Amino acid sequence: MVKDYIKDKKAKKSNAVILGRLIIFSIIVFAVLLGKFALSGFDVTTFNGLPDGDAAYSAAKQFILPTVLSSNIKFSDSEYKLAKKSDSVYVIKSHYTTTDHKGDTEITNFTIYLKYNGGASDKKVSWALLNLDQNNR
């Protein structure tokens, strides 16, 4: 009976030591990960949810600029229409005005479908172009 008690006590002590070491190891791993996170300069402002209409419109301009041949382009920043669809899809309708070297102006309507993939909303890589329609007036 005494031997059983001593064996039980040793087994419980062995289990407690193993559990204690596991807890200490977990705390060390957590501290290392927390330290890497804190020292990486991670910007918490990237977790603000979905972008607003102005951010989507700015991204749309980044996708449209390479498709325009004229170097003199003016977007109608205050006259755009925005619709949010499911799965972070934004539909933007607006127009821009181009002026050629002769001074002739041309207004082009556009409808662009963008999908927000996450990340900083002011970066082009955070967006995917789904469709772009452009029509001259």
DSSP 58: H
Print pLDDT tens along the chain (137 aa): 556 766 777 767 788 888 899 999 999 999 998 888 777 766 555 456 788 889 999 999 999 999 888 888 999 888 899 998 877 899 999 999 998 888 889 999 999 999 998 888 888 899 999 999 998 76
- Name every residue whose Cβ is closer than 8 Å to that of residue 118 and which is 6 or more positions away in sequence: 126
CA distance 132 to 111: 6
Q: How high is the pLDDT of residue 93?
A: 95
pTM, full prediction: 0.64
Domain ranges of the chain: 2-42, 48-136
